[in-house]
């Protein structure tokens, strides 16, 4: 039997559980919305403007860096599985690969991409 | 035949065999039998998760309290306030659900669902006992990391949809922190995978029959894993996303009722998953003395790590946001590269 069927069944049951929980809560809870209650919370102050505004550029830089390094980390997984059987040859390849990764990290570092302001 | 001394995993296998016989006798197709089996396991896990969350919240309160020379909850239910969290859950269920007028209603509603589903899926490949595992997938650990990345999305969804400055900042910080610490987290378990040569959880546990990986050069990986794991579940000292002194409670400020409950639940579930992976990868999983059922030694190790994480909370002050990012990218990431190199040399020399 395909084991990934289990993943699918788990997704369905998790969705069912959350949906059932939220529907139960919808049935038993009170609901008396008022103008003041549904206002955006800002410690009692009247909020000025919305929150959907421009935010710090740094977040994009880190997101991009993450994508680069995470994909490379995923490439390391199949390598790690076969490492024991390949031995020294795999080790040399690791040095090359990690060297490129480290060069990328040092480049980002020198370019001040890792600096949080 | 079953004996009391046998493990829970053996009991589960025995039950499945009986079920298979019964289905064969009735002529029920294999697919349906398999689905029922996995469905039953998933529902069992849901019960387990709910109970675990109750225990963990109670434990968090009691540990916090006793570390500060307080008592914590003492009155609800009589004995040491044991039913405090149950009362809180009922309160959350009955509480009014307020959605701010300016919020993006549908994203606001979907976020709690998206946060909980990956945390149940994480349990799919956690080996509780010898045969007690949802599905012993050949990608094992990778699927947990894959699904836990979805949690970042849901936290950002919650923060963005509320249309509140605090929640947006909390969500952004949370996303930045979780993706930054995911790299050392993923790389730190690579050492173990190299030592074992398999991603399967059962193989990793079996490889630690004689000696836990904690007592090998993988110790460094364990340290990196614990630090990155603490950051991954947004616990102190890495709780910048919900720093209550500056961001109220971060991305879930605008949530109430059961939707908040799901965020809370998945926070504790994720803490448990991180601890369970630590127990499986570095502390031998269900391996233990032969007179102890596997599940007992597994849960014992997991709760030990959970206690460690709670201990951290009252020991270390919170990181500042720039230092937090520096620590992740400029210290932990190079250190985990070094860890991979070191383990590679060790494996080669041992061979």
ipTM: 0.84
Taking the Cβ of residue B232 and every Cβ of chain A, the question of whether any pair is shorter than 8 Å is answered with: no
Model confidence pLDDT, tens digit, residues B119-178: 888 888 888 888 788 788 888 888 888 888 888 888 888 888 888 888 888 888 888 888
A90 Cα to chain B: minimum distance (Å):
9
Give contacts of A55 with chain B, Cβ < 8 Å.
Answer: 168, 172
- Interhelix angle B30-67/B8-26, rounded to 10 degrees, is 160
Q: What is the reported pLDDT for B265?
A: 87
Q: A25 and B93 in contact by Cβ < 8 A? A: yes
Q: B93 and A28 in contact by Cβ < 8 A? A: yes
Look over chain B and give the mean of its residue pLDDT values, rounded to a whole number: 84
Q: A28 and B96 in contact by Cβ < 8 A? A: no
For residue B194, whether the previous peptide bond is cis, meaning omega lies within 30 degrees of 0, is no
B4 Cα to chain A: minimum distance (Å):
29
Residues of chain B numbered 39-58 and touching chain A (CB < 8 Å): 39, 42-43, 46
B183 vs B248: CA distance, rounded Å: 28
The answer to whether residues B174 and B234 touch, using CB atoms and an 8 Å cutoff, is yes
Q: A83 and B197 in contact by Cβ < 8 A? A: yes
Model confidence pLDDT, tens digit, residues A52-99: 777 777 788 888 888 888 888 888 888 888 888 887 888 888 888 888
| Residues in Cβ contact with B142 at an 8 Å cutoff, skipping those fewer than 6 apart | A74, A77, B199
Q: B136 and A3 in contact by Cβ < 8 A? A: yes
Q: A25 and B257 in contact by Cβ < 8 A? A: yes
Q: What is the reported pLDDT for B133?
A: 82
Q: What is the reported pLDDT for B241?
A: 67
Closest-CA residue in chain A for B43?
A: A13
* Paired tokens of B79: 């004995």
Closest-CA residue in chain B for A103?
A: B334
Q: What is the reported pLDDT for B1?
A: 41
* Percent helix, strand and coil across chain B, each to the nearest 5: 70, 0, 30
Taking the Cβ of residue A100 and every Cβ of chain B, the question of whether any pair is shorter than 8 Å is answered with: no
* Paired tokens of B319: 């990181």
Q: A80 and B137 in contact by Cβ < 8 A? A: no
Residues of chain A numbered 1-40 and touching chain B (CB < 8 Å): 1, 3-7, 9-11, 13-15, 17-19, 21-22, 24-26, 28-33, 37-40
Q: What is the reported pLDDT for B303?
A: 92
Percent of chain A clearing pLDDT 70 (strictly above): 97
A109 Cα to chain B: minimum distance (Å):
8
Local confidence band at B212 (pLDDT 50, 70, 90 cut-offs): confident
Percent of chain B clearing pLDDT 90 (strictly above): 6
Best mutation target among B97, B110, B137 (most A Cβ atoms within 10 Å) is B97
Give contacts of B195 with chain A, Cβ < 8 Å.
Answer: 84
Going from N- to C-terminal start, the domains of chain A cover 54-117
Residues of chain B numbered 101-160 and touching chain A (CB < 8 Å): 101-103, 109, 112-113, 116-117, 120-121, 124, 134-138, 142-143, 160
Average pLDDT over residues B213-222: 86
B273 vs B275: CA distance, rounded Å: 5
Average pLDDT over residues B208-215: 83
Q: What is the reported pLDDT for B105?
A: 83
Average pLDDT over residues B14-26: 80
Q: B42 and A14 in contact by Cβ < 8 A? A: yes
B156 vs B154: CA distance, rounded Å: 5
Percent of chain B clearing pLDDT 70 (strictly above): 96
Local confidence band at B4 (pLDDT 50, 70, 90 cut-offs): very low
B137 Cα to chain A: minimum distance (Å):
6
B200 vs B23: CA distance, rounded Å: 29
Query: How many other C-beta atoms are found inside a 10 Å radius of the C-beta of residue A21?
Result: 19
């Amino acid at each position: 039997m395909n084991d990934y069927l289990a993943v699918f069944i788990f997704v369905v049951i998790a969705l069912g559980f959350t949906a059932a929980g939220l529907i139960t809560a919808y049935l038993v809870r009170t609901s008396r919305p008022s103008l003041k209650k549904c206002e955006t919370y800002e410690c009692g102050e009247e909020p000025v403007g919305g929150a959907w505004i421009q935010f710090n550029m740094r977040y994009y830089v880190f997101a991009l860096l993450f994508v680069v390094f995470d994909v490379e980390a995923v490439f390391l997984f199949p390598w790690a599985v076969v490492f024991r059987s390949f031995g020294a040859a795999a080790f040399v390849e690791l040095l090359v690969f990690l060297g490129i990764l480290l060069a990328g990290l040092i480049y980002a570092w020198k370019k001040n991409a890792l600096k949080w302001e | 035949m079953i004996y009391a001394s046998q493990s829970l995993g053996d009991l589960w296998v025995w039950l499945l065999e009986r079920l298979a016989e019964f289905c064969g006798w009735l002529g029920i197709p294999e697919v349906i039998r398999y689905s029922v089996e996995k469905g039953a396991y998933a529902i069992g896990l849901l019960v387990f998760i709910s109970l675990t969350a109750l225990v963990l919240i109670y434990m968090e309160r009691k540990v916090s309290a006793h570390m500060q020379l307080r008592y914590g909850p003492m009155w609800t239910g009589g004995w040491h306030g044991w039913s405090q969290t149950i009362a809180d859950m009922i309160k959350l269920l009955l509480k009014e659900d307020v959605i701010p007028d300016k919020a993006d209603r549908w994203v606001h509603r979907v976020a709690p669902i998206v946060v909980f589903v990956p945390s149940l899926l994480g349990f799919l490949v956690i080996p509780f006992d010898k045969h007690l595992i949802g599905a012993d997938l050949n990608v094992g650990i990778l699927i947990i990391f894959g699904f836990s990345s979805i949690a970042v999305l849901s936290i950002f969804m919650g923060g963005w949809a509320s249309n509140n400055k605090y929640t947006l900042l909390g969500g952004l910080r949370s996303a930045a922190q979780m993706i930054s610490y995911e790299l050392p987290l993923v790389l730190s378990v690579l050492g173990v995978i190299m030592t074992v040569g398999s991603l399967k959880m059962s193989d990793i546990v079996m490889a630690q029959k004689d000696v836990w990986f904690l007592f090998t050069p993988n110790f460094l990986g364990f340290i990196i894993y614990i630090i990155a794991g603490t950051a991954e579940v947004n616990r102190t000292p890495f709780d910048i996303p919900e720093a209550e002194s500056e961001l109220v409670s971060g991305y879930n400020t605008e949530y109430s009722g059961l939707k908040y409950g799901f965020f809370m639940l998945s926070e504790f579930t994720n803490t448990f998953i991180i601890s369970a992976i630590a127990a499986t990868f570095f502390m031998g999983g269900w391996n233990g003395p032969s007179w102890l059922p596997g599940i007992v030694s597994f849960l014992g190790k997991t709760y030990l790590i959970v206690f460690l994480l709670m201990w951290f909370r009252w020991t270390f002050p919170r990181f500042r946001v720039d230092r937090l990012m520096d620590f992740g990218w400029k210290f932990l990431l190079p250190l985990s590269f070094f860890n991979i190199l070191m383990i590679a040399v060790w494996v080669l020399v041992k061979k």
